[in-house]
């Protein structure tokens, strides 16, 4: 659609979703949230897509936050609904059965950091900055920022970032466990796509089982998580990919996984 806030392209089995509002630093308004929700639903349903990469247009911002001009006029009920829509979209990303990589090419602030944290992996340019600056607007994070940051970086870092609203460098975010890798800005897309292509060659059903184990395990007791992992481990023995992978290992050749 010509008015879509997204640019979508496929590179082999990798789908690249790019938020395309550079004049607004790719800020998340209602239309962009709805478009992302639909784009991820379609990517998840498409059997040709094995990995999803999410980024923003331009070199200034991944997503600089939620669209303040839209939020400014919301009532309390409308604000809650806006939060719930964003949270549902990010939960879809987080629960995706295919790996989702955030390619953080610039500012990831507020809703932008929340969006990145909803992805499974985050690769940041060395020039990127991240933060939860909502306190400076008289707000609090509304798309899961306080909860995901707590799980990634711990209580002390979460309170520091949310209470001060300060943005931190990509290197500091790496030290805190908020991002997985930091690379030179000039190499960001190449390094991200290299990882995406590596994951795209892995066994899709095993990837799905692993993502399920981590998602389930995060929200349950250890014993429940261990039981779920054992069940998923047994389940992959029913797949052609498991036979191909183990046979290829014994035959000292590269495996060719089909997702069956």
Question: Could you write out the DSSP letters of every residue in 124-184?
Answer: EETT-EEE-GGGGGT----SSHHHHHHHHH-HHHHHHHHHH---EEHHHHHHHTS-SEEE-
Q: Output the CA–CA distances (angstroms, integers) from residue 24 to 43, 58, 111, in the order listed.
A: 25, 11, 13
Does the annotation count 229 as an active-site position? no
Exactly one of 134, 160, 227, 251 is catalytic; name it. 134
Q: For the chain, percent helix, then strand, then coil, each to nearest 5?
A: 55, 15, 30
Does the annotation count 134 as an active-site position? yes
Exactly one of 114, 227, 229, 256 is catalytic; name it. 114
Q: How far apart are CA 228 and CA 216, in angstroms?
A: 8
Pull the structure tokens for residue 77.
């009920």
Please choose, from the candidates 93, 66, 105, 79, the residue with its C-alpha nearest in 3D space to the C-alpha of residue 186: 105
Please choose, from the candidates 89, 103, 76, the residue with its C-alpha nearest in 3D space to the C-alpha of residue 29: 89
At residue 94, the 3 state secondary structure works out as: helix
Q: How far apart are CA 36 and CA 80, in angstroms?
A: 19
Catalytically active residues, by annotation: 114, 134
């Amino acid at each position: 659609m010509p008015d879509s806030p997204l640019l979508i392209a496929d590179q082999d089995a990798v789908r690249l979703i790019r938020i395309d509002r550079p004049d607004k630093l790719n800020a998340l308004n209602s239309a962009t949230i709805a478009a992302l929700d639909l784009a991820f639903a379609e990517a998840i349903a498409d059997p040709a897509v094995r990995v999803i990469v999410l980024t923003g247009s331009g070199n200034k911002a991944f997503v600089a936050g939620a669209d303040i001009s839209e939020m400014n006029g919301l009532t309390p009920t409308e604000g809650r609904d806006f939060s719930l829509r964003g949270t549902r979209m990010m939960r879809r990303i987080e629960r995706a059965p295919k790996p989702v990589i955030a390619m953080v090419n610039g500012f990831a602030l507020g809703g932008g950091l929340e969006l990145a944290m909803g992805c499974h992996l985050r690769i940041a340019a060395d020039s990127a900055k991240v933060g939860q600056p909502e306190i400076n607007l008289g707000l609090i994070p509304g798309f899961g920022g306080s909860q995901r940051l707590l799980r990634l970086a711990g209580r002390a870092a979460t309170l520091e970032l949310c209470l001060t609203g300060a943005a931190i460098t990509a290197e500091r975010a790496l030290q805190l466990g908020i991002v997985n890798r930091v690379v030179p800005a000039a190499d960001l897309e190449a390094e991200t796509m290299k990882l995406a292509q590596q994951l795209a060659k892995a066994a899709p059903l095993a990837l799905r089982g692993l993502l399920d184990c981590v998602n389930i395990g995060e929200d349950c007791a250890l014993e429940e998580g261990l039981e779920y992992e054992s069940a998923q481990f047994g389940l992959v023995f029913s797949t052609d990919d498991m036979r191909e992978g183990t046979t290829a290992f014994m035959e000292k050749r590269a495996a060719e996984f089909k997702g069956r």
